[in-house]
Chains A and B, each alone.
Chain A
Amino acid sequence: QKEVEQNSGPLSVPEGAIASLNCTYSDRGSQSFFWYRQYSGKSPELIMFIYSNGDKEDGRFTAQLNKASQYVSLLIRDSQPSDSATYLCAVIRSGGSYIPTFGRGTSLIVHP
């Protein structure tokens, strides 16, 4: 079982809808959580990070963290075709190594 799990998708949503992307992790002591967006043929770019339980909002994006249930999610409001990409969840575990562990990513398709 991979330490960071994501549904590979594709997740297809209509333009203007809310896209909900989910990620679960196995290490209960994980400390830091990140969402990256990767367009085809490009390198991942950071969208958001979250460290504490609850919601964190940045423009159309909201990250949600629930450490008790060991999941982190990303909501994209008013989805646009330009949001079509693969979204990677990354977790930094406890234990001193501070190595980002990535999920395999969820492909999001926003159709007009």
Chain B
Amino acid sequence: DAGITQSPRHKVTETGTPVTLRCHQTENHRYMYWYRQDPGHGLRLIHYSYGVKDTDKGEVSDGYSVSRSKTEDFLLTLESATSSQTSVYFCVTGPSMNTEAFFGQGTRLTVV
């Protein structure tokens, strides 16, 4: 299995608070992605990175920001959590263009 670790695995937070999810990989993969998975919507891309300090927005980026200061770490921040951001978040990594993607274990986030 690819060494992709997400933390925390579960989190309950209050509306309006900032939240940071961490993805750490030991595979030296260049590409890293944050997706959220919701019933009826499937997996939707939030942000992605194609290298250190190189990031871009996905289809559902409003209310989220990311940072990648090292190859192995990709952070997702919810600037001010809302109930609509209750979801399962997956970190996904890929070694190169056009190849398969590997998933972290997921983070279940509940905003109350």
Residues of A within 8 A of B (CB): 31-32, 34, 36, 42-46, 49, 51, 88, 90, 92, 97-105
Q: In this assembly, does B31 line the interface, its C-beta being within 8 Å of a C-beta of chain A? A: yes
Contacts A99-B48, A102-B42: A46 and B100 contacting too (C-beta < 8 A)? yes
Distance in Å from the Cβ of A111 to the closest Cβ of chain B? 23
User: In the complex, which residues of chain A have a beta carbon less than 8 angstroms from the beta carbon of B78?
Assistant: none
Residues of B within 8 A of A (CB): 31, 33, 35, 40-43, 45, 48, 50, 56, 58, 90, 92, 94, 97-106
Question: Which applies to chain B's interface (DSSP): helix, strand, loop or mixed?
Answer: strand
Once bound together, how far apart are the Cα atoms of A43 and B98, in whole Å?
A: 21
Residue of A nearest to B31 (CB): A98
Distance in Å from the Cβ of A104 to the closest Cβ of chain B? 4
Query: Does A100 lie within 8 Å of B92, measured CB to CB?
Result: yes
Contacts A43-B90, A43-B106, A99-B58: A31 and B98 contacting too (C-beta < 8 A)? yes
Once bound together, how far apart are the Cα atoms of A45 and B100, in whole Å?
A: 10
Once bound together, how far apart are the Cα atoms of A49 and B100, in whole Å?
A: 7
Once bound together, how far apart are the Cα atoms of A101 and B92, in whole Å?
A: 12
User: In the complex, which residues of chain B have a beta carbon less than 8 angstroms from the beta carbon of A101?
Assistant: 45
Query: Does A98 lie within 8 Å of B97, measured CB to CB?
Result: yes
User: In the complex, which residues of chain A have a beta carbon less than 8 angstroms from the beta carbon of B50?
Assistant: 98
